[in-house]
Amino acid sequence: MKNTNDKIISNLTIRLTNRVTGNCIGSGIVYYNDQLKDLVYILTAAHCLFQDGDGFQEPLEEINIDFYNSKNNSYYSTTKTIDNRLVFKDADKDV
């Protein structure tokens, strides 16, 4: 992959980490549209948001979202509460 494409992908993707353990639990894509005004959505697989993965029985309450900063080659994090009303809990349809 070309270096330019790597930079574009790095700016559109995020790393998810467990707020308690600090372990990496997955990745996601940043979605923004002008009509959303000041909202940004993170799209990820549902199993990343559960302590028990595909069991979908132990939802995490909060996660760290790590954004990559290509200017200084580092990540910065923000902690967010998970709105489980937006999480699709079906192992057969989990991406």
Most trustworthy range by pLDDT among 34-43, 57-66, 67-76, 86-95: 57-66
3-state secondary structure of 83: coil
Instruction: Tell me what the mean pLDDT of segment 40-45 comes to.
Output: 92
Which amino acid appears at position 63 of this protein? I
Instruction: Tell me what the mean pLDDT of segment 41-63 comes to.
Output: 93
Closest CA to 40 of 31, 28, 49: 31
| CA dist., res. 77 & res. 30, Å (int) | 14
pLDDT value for 2: 67
For residue 92, pLDDT beyond 90 = no
| CA dist., res. 62 & res. 47, Å (int) | 14
